[in-house]
Amino acid sequence: MHRVLSTKLDSDHSNTASEGNFDTRGPHVNSPSHWKDVAILEDRANFKTTREQSRAVLVISPVQKKDAGIFRCRVDFLLSPTKNSNVNLEIVVPPDVPKIHNEAGVVLPSHAGPYEEGGDLVLICVVTG
């Protein structure tokens, strides 16, 4: 592995925004240079490599909903053709805690009522996410 460039594609897939570059070319052969664009993934993304530099890993922590999208990994080799690969990152956002409302739309903390026997009871469960 000579250089790894990780990019996140724009929503229309035509332009790319580079978020990381791990370079072992030229003067960086013994001390790889690492560059990242903090405007894309802030300070949450880093490249990690093995000592042999046969593997580069993009780590995003913590992952956020806005990170969803297509990521491209480009690897340049010294003696082999460049390789590209795309992956679509989907983020699952857990739902909020359900809230129970009465017929007037008031959130009920832990109990409902009192209600008269024979009357109507309307409880509305609302959850987002």
Same domain, 39 and 78: yes
Q: What is the tally of structural domains in the chain? A: 2
Q: What is the pTM assigned to this prediction?
A: 0.62
Same domain, 36 and 84: yes
Tell me how far CA of residue 44 lies from CA of 4, 13, 54, 73, 91, in angstroms.
18, 23, 23, 18, 16
Is residue 102 classed exposed, middle or buried when 0-12, 13-18 and 19+ CB atoms within 10 A define those classes? middle
Same domain, 123 and 79: no
Same domain, 52 and 100: no
DSSP code, position 80 = S
Tens of pLDDT, residue by residue over 56-100, are 778 889 999 988 988 888 887 778 888 888 899 999 999 999 999
Q: Which of 48, 44, 52, 50 is nearest to 34 (CA)?
A: 48
* Average pLDDT over the chain, rounded to an integer: 79
The domain in which residue 111 lies consists of 94-129
Identify the CATH number of the domain in which residue 52 sits.
2.60.40.10
**Alpha helix locations (H) across 29-125?**
38-41
Same domain, 63 and 119: no
Percent with pLDDT over 90 in the chain = 28
The whole-number pLDDT of residue 39 equals 73
User: What integer is the mean pLDDT of 37-66?
Assistant: 78
Three-class SS state of 28: helix
Same domain, 65 and 104: no
Record the tokens describing residue 92, joined without a space: 């699952």
